[in-house]
Amino acid sequence: MNADPSVVRQAHDRQAREMVDAYPEAAGFFWDVYGRSYMFDFAHDDGITMVNNKPSTIREFMYQRLMREHIRPSARSRGC
């Protein structure tokens, strides 16, 4: 899992659009395993998280940012 939204954004945006297109009558959809990744990502630094004096990031921050900045606006613009 790459915590950089510029890398994962396109794939998740495409999947969200496909979900909305496939189920146009749905009021919304459930993002499975959202926030269930409690492991740390030492390849990225969120500016907050440190583990054993090593900069890190919590993957949930990536999910939150991805939903807030990309998925939610895309879904709402399509009526979800």
User: Is residue 6 pLDDT above 70, yes or no?
Assistant: no
Structure tokens at 56: 């890190």
Q: Which domain holds residue 36?
A: 5-21+30-77
Mean pLDDT lowest for which of 6-10, 22-26, 32-36, 66-70? 32-36
Look at the chain and report how many structural domains it folds into: 1
CA distance 38 to 17: 27
Please say if the pLDDT value at position 18 is more than 70. Answer: yes
With b for 16 or more beta-carbon neighbours within 10 A and e for fewer, the 26-65 pattern comes to: eeeeeeeeeeeeeebbeebebeebeeeeeebbbbebbbee
Q: What's the whole-number mean pLDDT along residues 5-26?
A: 74
Q: Does the reported pTM lie above 0.85? A: no
